[in-house]
Homo-oligomer: A and B are copies of this chain.
Amino acid sequence: MFKLHGFAVSNYANMVKHCLIEKGIEFEQLDARPSQEENYLAMSPMGKVPCLETPEGFLSETSAILDYLDELQPDPPMYPSQVFKRAKAREIMRVTELYIEIAARRHLGAAFFGRERSEEAYAEVRPQVEKGLRAFAQLASFGPYVMGSDFGSADIFVYHSFRLASPVLKRTYDWDIRAEVPGLAAHIAVMDERDSTRLVVADHEKAMAELMAQIAAAK
């Protein structure tokens, strides 16, 4: 039995949950927040969520977990069967993570949690995301899925990365990055219709609303 340590505010926890649901792998959800406590670091060495508890031990880092789940249970497949195309799926996932999601994340605290904005980040992030979006648009095929006609890990990764990056960059720069990539709006619409997405998004919206209410009450 798998245990997913995380919480539904985390877009990375939601990627792993989304994949588990698509694979039909049974799992238990255990509430965990990013933490530097010894007990949690023993499971997740950076103290991050998600962390997947498997029969063989703990595993962190979402991209490693997504690959693991596909190798453990190849059906339904989450990567293209052809070796080069599988590499292209991993390439677009890295581009999305490193140059869009992680870049936008620098503004997360200021955009949503009342922290002070970093002017250095303000100057650096937008040009980096512009490059990231250009690369992303070049690599994506949207047929309607990111890698073409077949759904997979790249779709999960892209969908939940933009669910964080889009609102953060909208609030920070009044900039709608979803409109910058032809085909992305249609991809999001197709993803929104999946049963797996509905489950993950419903939990995400509920958890975000609760968190925002807590923050408002604490002011």
Q: Does A91 contact B (CB under 8 A)?
A: yes
Could you tell me if B132 and A94 are in contact, using CB atoms closer than 8 angstroms? no
Of residues 9 through 57 on chain A, the ones whose CB sits less than 8 Å from some CB of chain B are 36, 41, 45-47, 54, 56-57
Could you tell me if B60 and A91 are in contact, using CB atoms closer than 8 angstroms? yes
Docked pose: A57 CA to B85 CA in angstroms: 10
User: What are 9 of the A-B contact pairs (CB < 8 Å)?
Assistant: A41-B134, A45-B134, A45-B136, A59-B88, A60-B91, A61-B90, A61-B94, A61-B95, A64-B87
Q: Which 5 A-B pairs have the closest CB atoms?
A: A45-B135, A68-B87, A64-B90, A61-B94, A56-B84
Please give the residue numbers on chain A whose beta carbons come within 8 Å of chain B beta carbons, in ascending order: 36, 41, 45-47, 54, 56-57, 59-61, 63-65, 67-68, 71-72, 83-84, 86-88, 90-91, 93-95, 98-99, 102, 118, 120, 131-132, 134-136, 138-139
